[in-house]
Chains A and B, each alone.
Chain A
Amino acid sequence: MSFAHLPHVLGLGALLFFLSGLIFVHLRGSNLSSFQASALGGLSLVQPGYLDGNVGISAALLALATLAVGLATLAFVKRQDPRRTVLLGGSLAAAQIVHPLWGTAATIVLPFTLHRSLGVSAERVTGLYVSLLFLPAITSILLVCLTATGDLDPPRWPSLSDMPGKISLLSAASTVLAGSVFLIASTVSLRGAGLAALAVTGTLVLFTSVGLQMVDHSAQILPCAAAMSVSLLLVLVPSSKSTVHFRTAIAVVTANAAFSWALPFLTRLGQSE
């Protein structure tokens, strides 16, 4: 490693430190011991994306954004106070900057899912939408303006015309999946709504990233796997009141880590076909 790589390594180190801190605090708050929280959190960070020189920071940022959106969603599901509204709106806005396509998808899916499951009355629903979508919408407009003026070149925001048939198929599948989750979310409990929303965002991360990987071969799959890993933690340990079966959680996270390391090979296989 040369000195030229030092800022990159330091940046990545700082991001991972922050990410691991957030994960640890979340897991400790879920009645796990320090050892259990460290083990589970540490395992969720064993991802190939962080070691890749090209996408290491992207992977850490995407994982951090996913964790932020997830935690903010869970908090908002528990109580819809102004601070939590700001946190959810802000995390969705940040998600758009980190990954415009996933961020946009999450911004569309999450508030709708929450509204259906929180049972917001008709006259208040516009207010809920406006309050939640304001920051992400402003961020989108800003990103579009900056992209249009050439001041910004978001690498993960390809034009639709570049997308081949496979991507259209994946997008359609995502939509169908999201639609089914809406239906489920409208009938399940609040906690279920949070999980459903997380599942939707996680799946969208996977689909969009795999799709983009096939389009521009820019190793999107590795950041996606890192993000999926932290999403999984939120699904396994969604709140402080949930009963966590530590061994099951370790098994699932380990399986996911193994899958993540295998993903690049699977993708290459898919491309060679």
Chain B
Amino acid sequence: MIGEDHRGSPEATLAGSLLTVRARACPHSVSGLLHHILTGAARSLLLSGVASGPVANQLRAHAVEDATYALLRQQPEFSAARVITGRQIQILVLLFMAVLAILWFSPHIGPLLVTGVVAAGYLANAVFRAWLFWVGADQTTTEIVGTSSVKPLPVYTVLVPLYREANVLPRLAYSLRQLSYPLDRLDVKLIVEEDDCETVAAANSAAKDGFFEVVVVPPGEPRTKPRACNYALQFARGDFLVIFDAEDRPEADQLLKAVHAFEHSTPDVACLQARLNFFNARECWISRMFALDYALWFDFLLPGLDRLGIPMPLGGTSNHFRVETLRAIHGWDPFNVTEDADLGIRLSRVGKRVRTLDSTTYEEATNATGNWLRQRTRWLKGYMQTWLVHMRDPGQLLRNAGPAGFLGFQLFVGGTVLSALLNPILWLIFFLSLFVDVPYLGFLGGTHLLSGCGLLFGNVLFAYLAMLGPHRRGWLDLSPYALTVPIYWLLISAAGYRAVWQLVRNPWHWEKTPHGVTRMHDMEESA
């Protein structure tokens, strides 16, 4: 790490001169070039934000612009900078009008029809997940298992975006040092925001021994994790790259496993998603439910998508990439608040494959309902963005992903959002038809039965899947908590409606989840 005393030094000036030549040669495509031309001190100076002079500043500005707008410039159809297109608004309005018309002109059949469609949508999502579970539960795994023995190992870049997380840095440093990978083949980058002084100071302090490099991201909007990662990607030296969050504790051999899996995969496999779960799963009710959620998602549903070749939305961390491919598709979308999910779909659309990796990263589950709600709101908002982006041209998506991929995308990405939104509607219809006698509105036996069946089978299926989720890890003590899934689902629905509101009001706002607040720090403690 280069300290403040390097500002304006001869070394920095020299680096600046070198950078000027390169920037002039290719002023609009800084991304992908920097890692080739920058070496040693020049790299460190630019990374740390202390290189001075107009050239260095210009280059940094280019790098920031590239990090923010490369995707928007090169492939605007995939950028969430535009939330919804005019055509999509027209379709949504038409759909809404059609529902109103059905209810108005056919008061007896209309409610039945609408309830039937709502219940069918809810059930379809539940049944699809059940099928994915079944496929993902197959013991004869197709995942490539083993650790690499190739010498020398490829350089592996580890990106760790940090924001107001100075308190978790010591623990993070410890976890990353536990990785079984040669130190000289690791390129670990702590990504910090320039105006987050406390984290910058802590990162600089942690980087004193040279194990980490600190990448200081100049301020700008949207202030999102993908923007910071895109900025750091331009300085990545590795052939492969992985993202870890500040509170992550990856299994020690995860990088070796990833290299081995990449070595034995076809070149079209561009990304590997490791499994995620929580080291503080047993801290409280919400963390237990969260753990059930993650166990089902990462241990069964994503492997199910992998086996079926359906586009896979990535989880927020422990995504391992081939750097070349990641650069070729312009990294993450800085305007999408679930940039990982979007990236997984985008990779599939350009003919690349995302597979799962049999290695776990343990994260910190939020232990407060408020924090959980904010985090889930962001995820659901991001899923809405992702769905809207990729459904701008459904025909193209169908051609890119194929019929199964197209349907899978609707059910898995669209279905996740739709289930969250439909669940309370079904409860409402059910209770209204139970207690309110409004026969002219059609709240008769049929409506009651349909909403009841939708609720019953949907919730039973969701609860059962959640119950089986922890079986692969042997965490059977968590299974009984799955009986409270209907309550958890109401919370998800609350987050879903909050997400809709935010999508309209503030689509790119990133609600930061605070970490380092758990009282449990070890798996053993949790167990």
Residues of chain A touching chain B, judged by Cβ–Cβ distance below 8 Å, are 79-83, 85-86, 120, 123-128, 130-131, 134-135, 138
Contact = CB atoms under 8 A, between A and B. Distances in A.
Nearest to B134: A83
Contacts of A131: 467-468, 471, 476, 479
Contact of B483 (A83, A123, A128, A130): A130
23 contacts: A80-B471, A81-B139, A81-B472, A82-B137, A82-B468, A83-B134, A83-B139, A85-B468, A125-B476, A126-B479, A126-B480, A127-B470, A127-B476, A127-B477, A127-B478, A127-B479, A128-B479, A130-B467, A131-B468, A131-B471, A131-B479, A134-B464, A138-B460
Of the listed residues A79, A81, A134, the one surrounded by the most CB atoms of chain B closer than 10 A to its CB is A134
A76 to B, nearest CB: 12
B138 interface: yes
B300 interface: yes
Nearest to A89: B464
Contacts of B464: 134-135
Contacts of B133: 82
Instruction: Give chain B's interface secondary structure class.
Output: helix
Instruction: Give chain A's interface secondary structure class.
Output: helix
Given A83-B138, A131-B467, A134-B467, A124 B480 contact: no
Contacts of A134: 463-464, 467
Given A81-B472, A127-B480, 9 more contacts: A82-B137, A123-B476, A125-B476, A127-B470, A130-B479, A130-B483, A131-B468, A134-B467, A135-B464
A80 B479 CA distance: 14
Of the listed residues A82, A123, A134, the one surrounded by the most CB atoms of chain B closer than 10 A to its CB is A82
Contacts of B483: 130
A43 B15 CA distance: 88
Interface in B473-499: 474-480, 482-483
Given A131-B467, A134-B464, A134-B467, A82 B472 contact: yes
Interface in B112-153: 133-134, 137-139
Contacts of A85: 468, 471
Nearest to A120: B476
A246 B260 CA distance: 49
Given A130-B483, A138-B460, A86 B468 contact: yes
Contacts of B477: 123-124, 126-127
A153 to B, nearest CB: 19
A126 B467 CA distance: 11
B225 to A, nearest CB: 33
Interface in B422-481: 460, 463-464, 467-468, 470-472, 474-480
B480 A81 contact: no
A125 B480 CA distance: 10
A124 B480 CA distance: 10
B480 A130 contact: yes
Contacts of B472: 81-82
Contacts of B134: 83, 86
A124 B473 CA distance: 12
Nearest to B478: A127
A80 B476 CA distance: 11
Contacts of A123: 476-477
Interface string B289-305: 00000000000100000
Contacts of B482: 130
Contacts of B463: 134
Nearest to A80: B471
Contacts of A86: 134, 137, 468
A80 B472 CA distance: 10
Contacts of B480: 126-127, 130
B468 A124 contact: no
Contact of A82 (B471, B475, B478): B471
Contacts of A130: 467, 479-480, 482-483
A82 B460 contact: no
B30 to A, nearest CB: 48
Given A127-B478, A127-B479, A81 B471 contact: yes
